[in-house]
Amino acid sequence: MPIPPLALRGDVVTFSGNPFEQPPESCLVHVRDALVVARDGVLTHVAPYDARDVPADATVHIAPGLIGAGFIDAHVHYPQLGVTGSYGEQLLTWLERYVFPAEAAFADRAHADHVADAFLSQLIAAGTTTACVYCTVHPESVDAFFTHAEALGALMIAGKVLMDRNAPDALRDTAQGGYDESKALISRWHGRGRLRYAVTPRFAPTSTQAQLDMAGALLREHDGLYMQTHIAENTAEIDWVRSLFPDRRDYLDVYGHAGLIGPRSVLGHGIYLGTDELDRCHEAQCGVAHCPSSNLFLGSGTFDLFGAMRRPRPVRCGLGSDVGAGTSLSALRTLGDGYKVAQALGQRLHAVQGFWLATAGNARALHLDHRIGTVAVGMDADLCVLDPGATPLLALRTGGARDLTDVLFALMSLGDERCVRETYIAGRRVHEHRPAN
């Protein structure tokens, strides 16, 4: 039986340009009372509503809010869901005290299945339809994640963490073992439907030179792979990297020297990247995931987003929740933290910049902007419907809003999962939230 097309009617909010390079308001696209049609997972019509445009085999569904592209999370750890909000440590001791014990449990496939399922349910409930996801060192954790992502039909990027030193026995692989396991996972999952594999050395301190080199070999041996890792997040971490790799020019060079930096490399945090490193990120066209919630929670520092994006050689920055160091899977909450971090640096994160970053900007950082991140004909039909009056506070606040930008700003300051009324993946509704009243 052919699947009938999706026909959604409502206001569409999307973007036509980069609001860090052009006046933000000029990048905002607002199609009032639009008809959005998707067939076979792709948007085939986005225009002001006209009954004659409704396909004969479709039933029009009225969207209970603003229709936007699904959010994208450029940096998140699904196995850390259960240790989100753990007290009292900064990065390195937080990893030892909370994260490594939690990740050890993913040797058990049943546990991995349970958490992967919970994570993806919570992710789509937050309106996020694509994410760059760290699994654990166990191949089972990757199989579990991709199995559940495939069932959703989602475009997901994920990989097995590589760690062959400075980690507990139960979480260490070897350079050769990590290479072999990654290779088997790549052949099983990379390019299967909408799934993509990311070679995932956790960060420089937990990999030997041999392991980083073998990660580079994997990237050379397969087309279209991603690479994700952490960089320059915390000052103690940076000192440690300098002592472990004394011959490298800086942190980025540790990865660059191993052949790990290219257009589909996604670097988490980057708070302390220097001018020269940012220039090389620009040249390489890699993505840097700004993780404001995590950076505040772990006391890591304040990433200068505007300094990275507004320079002669701009860096492709995105936005990541970094759960479980970040405290919410909601892009709205992450943006609220991003606004506060910018304020602390004397900068203003405009609502259009914020929403662009969480959708089209992230798509651009991941070199996926031809498929996801905007609502337009030919794009994948990954959507979320946001209700600007979802909570009593938001209803009060947006009831008196000046314009759409003000509504978006209220959503990113006061909103969370409760605002996400519906989520669509490849044109199929995968989440629906009916407020109680």
Minimum Å distance from CB 230 to Zn ion?
6
Binding positions for ligand GUN, rule: CB under 6 A = 77, 91, 95, 99, 202-203, 230, 233, 294, 322, 325
Q: Give, rounded to a whole angstrom, the gap between the first and last alpha carbons of the chain.
A: 37
Binding positions for Zn ion, rule: CB under 5 A = 268, 322
Rank residues 95 and 120 by Cβ distance to ligand GUN and give the closer one. Answer: 95
Rank residues 233 and 304 by Cβ distance to ligand GUN and give the closer one. Answer: 233
Helix (H, G, I), strand (E, B) or coil at 369: coil
Q: How far apart are CA 24 and CA 347, in angstroms?
A: 14
Residue entry with tokens 């006061």 = 414
Minimum Å distance from CB 246 to ligand GUN?
20
Minimum Å distance from CB 229 to ligand GUN?
8
Rank residues 229 and 423 by Cβ distance to ligand GUN and give the closer one. Answer: 229
Rank residues 86 and 391 by Cβ distance to ligand GUN and give the closer one. Answer: 86
Minimum Å distance from CB 77 to Zn ion?
6
With contact defined as beta carbons under 8 Å apart, do 29 and 12 qualify?
yes
Among Zn ion, ligand GUN, none, what does residue 387 contact (CB within 5–8 Å per kind)? none
Return the bridge partners of 200, or none. 161
Minimum Å distance from CB 269 to ligand GUN?
7
Rank residues 295 and 423 by Cβ distance to ligand GUN and give the closer one. Answer: 295
Minimum Å distance from CB 203 to Zn ion?
9
Among ligand GUN, Zn ion, none, what does residue 233 contact (CB within 5–8 Å per kind)? ligand GUN
Among ligand GUN, Zn ion, none, what does residue 69 contact (CB within 5–8 Å per kind)? none
Rank residues 333 and 433 by Cβ distance to ligand GUN and give the closer one. Answer: 333
Q: Kindly report each contact of residues 16-22 with a partner whose C-beta sits within 8 Å and lies 24 or more positions away, as own/partner.
A: 18/356, 18/360, 18/361, 18/364, 19/350, 19/352, 19/353, 19/356, 20/306, 20/309, 20/310, 20/314, 20/353, 20/356, 20/361, 21/310, 21/314
Helix (H) or strand (E) holding 254: helix 251-257
Among Zn ion, ligand GUN, none, what does residue 414 contact (CB within 5–8 Å per kind)? none
Q: What burial class does residue 92 get, using C-beta atoms within 10 Å of its C-beta: 0-12 exposed, 13-18 middle, 19+ buried?
A: middle
Minimum Å distance from CB 31 to ligand GUN?
38
Rank residues 232 and 386 by Cβ distance to ligand GUN and give the closer one. Answer: 232
Helix (H, G, I), strand (E, B) or coil at 210: helix
Among Zn ion, ligand GUN, none, what does residue 35 contact (CB within 5–8 Å per kind)? none
Minimum Å distance from CB 318 to ligand GUN?
15
Q: How far apart are CA 245 and CA 240, in angstroms?
A: 9
Rank residues 77 and 194 by Cβ distance to ligand GUN and give the closer one. Answer: 77
Helix (H, G, I), strand (E, B) or coil at 266: strand
The pair of structure tokens assigned to 109 is: 């496939």
Among ligand GUN, Zn ion, none, what does residue 219 contact (CB within 5–8 Å per kind)? none
Among Zn ion, ligand GUN, none, what does residue 99 contact (CB within 5–8 Å per kind)? ligand GUN
Instruction: For residue 235, give Cα distances in angstroms to 92, 167, 263, 302.
Output: 10, 19, 26, 12
The pair of structure tokens assigned to 362 is: 């992230």
Give the up-direction half-sphere exposure of residue 19: CA atoms within 13 A in the CB hemisphere: 25
